Amino acid sequence: MTSRRGFLAGLAAAGLVPRTTWASAGAPALLAAARTDTGAYVLCGLSGAGEVLFDIPLPDRGHAAAAHPHRAEAVAFARRPGRFAIILNCVSGAVLATLDAPAGRHFYGHGSFSLDGRYLFTTENDYEAGLGVIGIWDSAQDYRRVGEYYSGGVGPHEIKTLPSGDLVVANGGIETHPDAGRAKLNIPTMEPNLCYLSTDGEVLETVKLDHSLHKNSIRHLDVSRDGLVAAGMQWQGDAGQVVPLVFTHKQGEAAVILDVGTALYRRMDGYVGSIAIDSAGQTVAATSPRGGLVLTAELGGPAPKTAIDTHADVCGVAYGPWGRMVTTGRGQVIGGLSLSPNDYPKLHWDNHLVRI
């Protein structure tokens, strides 16, 4: 693996490969960050069968990564309140650029590229104002920051690019401030939303759920091929109250809460760690590391058909042509083209599994 990478890096250095594509990185299907059993952190590329194709050391615990749509480049974010993110060449492992959050901003740990791959959009906190910001970085100018705009809410977390090229942001609603650590400052008054934005920052649509769910932080997202958004939530209210944790939304329509009954949601312990929707928009999967389970639900009917798979400390989840794949904090990669789980006993897979 190393020699191949070294060989390709040599080619790149010699100018023989103008742009390194994902094919030259071994054509990974997914990216995932992990902690190793020695306490180091790595970013891995995974095949559709759950095999690790490459691993690149990270300077610190990463949160999510974002994958460039064409080039073998990944963005690894420091955990919030992260001040930096790095752009990695996934063939050579080289750091191509470092993104420093401007003064008064920190990253929330998610980002998404424009459809053409030129611009990277990152979720950030303008913490003195207590407002969410989307930062814009130009990959054609060594990832220079070229602008920012209001995210449409407070505490933006995951961001995705829609098939139309517009953006959709989960504004989690929770106000934090780096001087207060990870303390949540506004739980009694939080108002999360799902916000659609043009790449110019125009708010196209803002979706809020019923006020009784105002403490349900909308945090993670995925988008189907035709723009159906699935959102996963984290309940910040009293733990004794069982609330729905997943909804779907199509631009211009009303949000549809995934009605799987209270018994299933209770098992998820108020917490969805990651969410994925298949490209056809027919099936949604949400993980709960606290509940140690993956909920899968078929959309469309009045009472969705559901399945529960239990895996200790499961969190990352993604859909692709290879099916559904999940990762666990115990080093397992489950699903995809592989019939049996791939075990990486020296790795603890971190929160997210990112489809390339």
Which residues contribute to the site for another protein (CB under 8 A)? 35, 63, 79-80, 109, 127-128, 130, 157, 177, 179-183, 185, 187-189, 234, 237-240, 242, 266, 271, 273, 289-290, 292, 312-315, 328-330, 348-351
Query: Would you say 155 or 281 has its CB closer to another protein?
Result: 155
Query: Would you say 55 or 126 has its CB closer to another protein?
Result: 126
Minimum Å distance from CB 181 to another protein? 4
Query: Would you say 72 or 243 has its CB closer to another protein?
Result: 243
Minimum Å distance from CB 230 to another protein? 18
Query: Would you say 245 or 299 has its CB closer to another protein?
Result: 245
Query: Would you say 224 or 328 has its CB closer to another protein?
Result: 328
Minimum Å distance from CB 83 to another protein? 11
d(CA 201, CA 252): 18
Query: Would you say 145 or 330 has its CB closer to another protein?
Result: 330
HEC string for the chain: CHHHHHHHHHHHHCCCCCCCEHHHHCCCCEEEEEEECCCCEEEEEECCCCCEEEEEEECCCEEEEEECCCECEEEEEECCCECEEEEEECCCCCEEEEEECCCCEEEEEEEEECCCCCEEEEEEEECCCCEEEEEEEEHHHCCEEEEEEECCCCCEEEEEECCCCCEEEEECCCCCCHHHCCCCCCHHHCCCEEEEECCCCCEEEEECCCHHHCCEEEEEEEECCCCCEEEEEEECCCCCCCCCCEEEECCCCCCEECCCCHHHHHHCCCECCEEEECCCCCEEEEEECCCCEEEEEECCCCCCCEEEEECCCEEEEEEECCEEEEEECCCEEEECCCCCCEECCCEEEEEEEEEC
Q: Are 339 and 48 in contact (CB under 8 A)?
A: no
Q: Are 159 and 211 in contact (CB under 8 A)?
A: no
d(CA 56, CA 346): 15
Query: Would you say 71 or 79 has its CB closer to another protein?
Result: 79
Minimum Å distance from CB 139 to another protein? 25
Minimum Å distance from CB 109 to another protein? 6
Minimum Å distance from CB 320 to another protein? 21
Minimum Å distance from CB 278 to another protein? 23
Query: Would you say 45 or 331 has its CB closer to another protein?
Result: 331
Minimum Å distance from CB 208 to another protein? 20
